[in-house]
Amino acid sequence: MLTSLGYIAGRHTEALDYYRQSPTLLRTLGNACEEANTLTHIGEAHLALGDQRQTRDCWEQAADLYQAQHRDDDARYLRDMVIAIES
């Protein structure tokens, strides 16, 4: 629900306010799949705001979760994106 509100908000700063509440809740609920997706979206919002460090941190966390879930294509995509923003 919180991730949907972040997406619907459409404004990156507001979206981050909603998104930031989600990973902890999802972790508590044991929903690592949605936690990874949410971290990806948080990284996207940070990128749109020009914060590459926060983007990298979120995407690396999400990539680790994706890898643990055997979502190898998703993990590889985010790792490639991290390399691209650091270039």
pLDDT at 84: 95
Q: In terms of pLDDT, which residue wins out, 84 or 18? A: 84
pLDDT at 31: 80
Up-side HSE of residue 65: CA atoms within 13 Å toward CB? 20
pLDDT tops 50 at residue 2: no
Structural tokens at position 85: 């923003």
Q: Which CATH class is domain 2-86?
A: mainly alpha
Convert the pLDDT of each residue in 33-70 to its tens digit.
899 998 998 898 889 889 999 999 999 999 999 999 99
pLDDT at 59: 97
Q: In terms of pLDDT, which residue wins out, 25 or 32? A: 32
pLDDT at 1: 45
Q: Are 43 and 62 in contact (CB under 8 A)?
A: yes
Our measurement of the distance from residue 30's CA atom to the centroid of its chain's CA atoms, rounded to an integer in Å, reads 16
Neighbouring C-beta atoms of residue 19, cutoff 10 Å: 25
pLDDT at 7: 53
Domain locations along the chain = 2-86
What distance in Å separates the CA atoms of residue 20 and residue 48, rounded to the nearest whole number? 16
Residue type, 79: R
Residue type, 26: L
